[in-house]
Structure 1
Amino acid sequence: MANYNKNVFIGTGGSAGINESHYLSALYGMERIMGRCDTPLRRILNEAQDRFCREMPLMFVLTVVESLTDGTKVVRGLYVGDSHDVFYRAGELSAQVNRFVVQPAPKTVVVTMNPTKYKRTWLANKAIYRTRMLVADGGTLVVIAPGVHSFGESSTVDQLIRKYGYVPTPQVLQRVAENPDLQENLGTAAHLIHGTPEGRFQVVYAPGSL
């Protein structure tokens, strides 16, 4: 059920639209977005659909897939329609079958990243995105990423990440305000925010050759 009407609008605003949409989500906060259907960016996309796609024959086919403990993928729902309700109903079911609460929160979490798939922290930091709500306050996230050899997907982004680092959000915002190169690459600024534990837990990174 991922993306929904994002698939209609992705890229329509050029690089500025991509950068600013990612930055908006980063400012709102990963913890307030993950596992939720109603977010500021989703409301913007829904508004765009309502304004500009009235005459377009849009039809959405959304599946809800559950991942079982043995790794098996099972389709739990199929939602078809042309209204926002299709997305929200799929989201409700997905929350039921794919959201888990672990008590107490673990102090140490170890994540391994496939070395053939994850070559840069730009993608390998999914280890942080997807576990940040799991790690206990004061805990440790260990990321084992033997394939990682650089930061960004391009030389420009790689240099920006090396220059500004994965620092807490207030520092990223200050650096955006003070530096034109980061202002022109808000997608990178968003990535820096997504990759910081905000001082709530620590990250121990084990890259291959970074």
Structure 2
Amino acid sequence: MSGIVCETIGGPHQQVGEEELDSLVARKLGEVPLDGKKVVLVIPDGTRSCPLPLLLRTMHRHLIDRVGELTAVIALGTHSYMEPDEIARMVGAGSAGDGLDPEAQVKAAYPGMRIVNHEWADPDMLVHVGTIPATRIAELSEGRLEQDAPIVINRHVVESDYAIVVGPVFPHEVVGISGGNKYFIPGVASQEFIDMTHWVGALITSYSIIGTTGITPVRAMINEGAALIPTTRLALCLVVQSGSGEIEAAAFGTAEDAWAASAEIAAETHVNYVDEPFQRVISCMPTRYEDIWTAAKGFYKLEPAVADGGEVVIYAPHVTEVSETHHEIYDIGYHCRDYFVKQWERFSDIHWGVLAHSTHLRGQGTYDADTGEERLRLRVTLATQIPREVCESINLGYLDPAEVDLEALAQEPGTVVIPNAGEILYRVR
């Protein structure tokens, strides 16, 4: 263990300036014996609101002259690999008109530091660090799952002396509140344990777990797996004003302590309470969500605040596909948890992470195995470039985005339009 004591600055709806952040980072890194060490920063991908250029510049400034080697690994989980131009934009490296190629832009902005994708599909870039026995998984998952869990982690992270998470925390559909060790698992892990944790979350249901600040069964599994990583794990966890990048709070400490401090603040600042449940919601998805696999957060964050029989519309006219990497979703479609659980022999061979995503976007419901009838609490409609026939084939509704008038919809009784959806959780008071 590092022996570092967690320190938090800012708080709910406060604002942390650059100088205050810089002072925190300098102070806390100064307490860690990093000289000559191999250090990895574990950073978010483009699906999170985060002033990443500021954070990376700050970390780079205080590390590059001390450490022996510095690498930033993008915690993709099983999201699509980011292209060089996407990485350059995300980390604020140069501009399109400066004549440099994206990789040169990154090198110029962060001399001496590599920024790489978590190559989750490349076995050579993954290392087995241990196995959680089935009996222990049964304890952690509160009886929902019992099988051995191999923990396989990104090689850069495993071979480092220090791995420092740098990223925001938000309410999350699988783990309760994101961040902390979640940047290691699923962030830089292999697909097998990612699938296991996501399926346990699906068995609990997003509706029940999202926004929970404590150690949920999924968080317990993640913490247990992360503890097997043979490097010192630290974290700079942030609570960020969604969409603006303004930092409300920052905590630096162990991956567990910094997360716990930030999760309490996120639960206060990133949850909006409404007096009456919504009948119809138009979730307007920012372009950082490039497919339904990620834009589905527009449903997860609204589901608890929508009345029985209501509707959530995912309005994302820029989206053209359900998933670039998980094509099985086109075959199985979107269904409630019990649809899969009660037909397990049909679906057990599908990646459990795909099944989990399916249930998370379809929400609560029931399935009668005798009659084959599925009853779903809410309607889910896509207003994207995905054609009507595809939407209907995967058990979702279709709305032509060209016919959507957001201003007019906002005036309709029973309809609410949510801008910049996907990060703020809505609940009924």
Which bin holds the TM-score, normalised by the shorter protein?
A: 0.7 to 0.9
Aligned position for 1:206: 383
Aligned position for 1:161: 329
1:13-28 alignment to 2 at 5 Å? Answer: 14-28=190-204
Measured in 2, the distance between the counterparts of 1:96 and 1:74 equals 16
Measured in 2, the distance between the counterparts of 1:11 and 1:118 equals 17
- C-alpha spacing 1:178/1:108, structure 2 compared with 1 (3 Å): same
Measured in 1, the distance between the counterparts of 2:224 and 2:338 equals 30
More helix by share: 1
Q: Which amino acid aligns with 1:89?
A: A
User: Structure 1 residue 125 and structure 2 residue 296: aligned?
Assistant: yes
Offset at residue 11 of structure 1 (A): 6.7
Measured in 1, the distance between the counterparts of 2:336 and 2:351 equals 18
Q: Where do 5+ consecutive residues of structure 1 fail to align? A: none
Aligned position for 2:346: 179
Aligned position for 2:355: 189
More deviation, 162-171/99-108: 162-171
Q: Which amino acid aligns with 1:18?
A: I
Which protein has the larger Cα radius of gyration, Structure 1 or Structure 2? 2
- Which structure is richer in relative contact order (CA contacts within 8 A, separation 6 or more)? 1
Offset at residue 119 of structure 1 (A): 4.8
Contact 1:111 1:144 survives alignment (8 Å)? yes
Normalised to the residue count of structure 1, the TM-score between the two structures is: 0.81
Aligned residues: 199
1:126-170, Cα deviation, whole Å (9 max, x unpaired): 22112112212221212223233332323xx33x32332212211
Measured in 2, the distance between the counterparts of 1:197 and 1:118 equals 20
Offset at residue 13 of structure 1 (A): 5.6
Measured in 1, the distance between the counterparts of 2:288 and 2:239 equals 25
Measured in 2, the distance between the counterparts of 1:119 and 1:87 equals 27
Measured in 2, the distance between the counterparts of 1:152 and 1:49 equals 27
Measured in 2, the distance between the counterparts of 1:76 and 1:8 equals 24
1:164-191, Cα deviation, whole Å (9 max, x unpaired): 221221112234x2236x5241111111
Indicate the SS of the match to 1:151. Answer: coil
Aligned position for 1:94: 266
Contact 2:202 2:337 survives alignment (8 Å)? no
User: Structure 1 residue 34 and structure 2 residue 210: aligned?
Assistant: yes
Normalised to the residue count of structure 2, the TM-score between the two structures is: 0.42
1:67-146 alignment to 2 at 5 Å? Answer: 67=242, 72-82=244-254, 84-114=256-286, 117-146=288-317
Indicate the SS of the match to 1:101. Answer: strand
Q: Which amino acid aligns with 1:193?
A: T
Contact 1:107 1:136 survives alignment (8 Å)? yes
Fraction of identical pairs, as percent: 26
More strand by share: 2
- C-alpha spacing 1:15/1:171, structure 2 compared with 1 (3 Å): same
Contact 1:23 1:189 survives alignment (8 Å)? yes
Contact 1:18 1:187 survives alignment (8 Å)? yes
Contact 1:172 1:192 survives alignment (8 Å)? no
Indicate the SS of the match to 2:362. Answer: coil
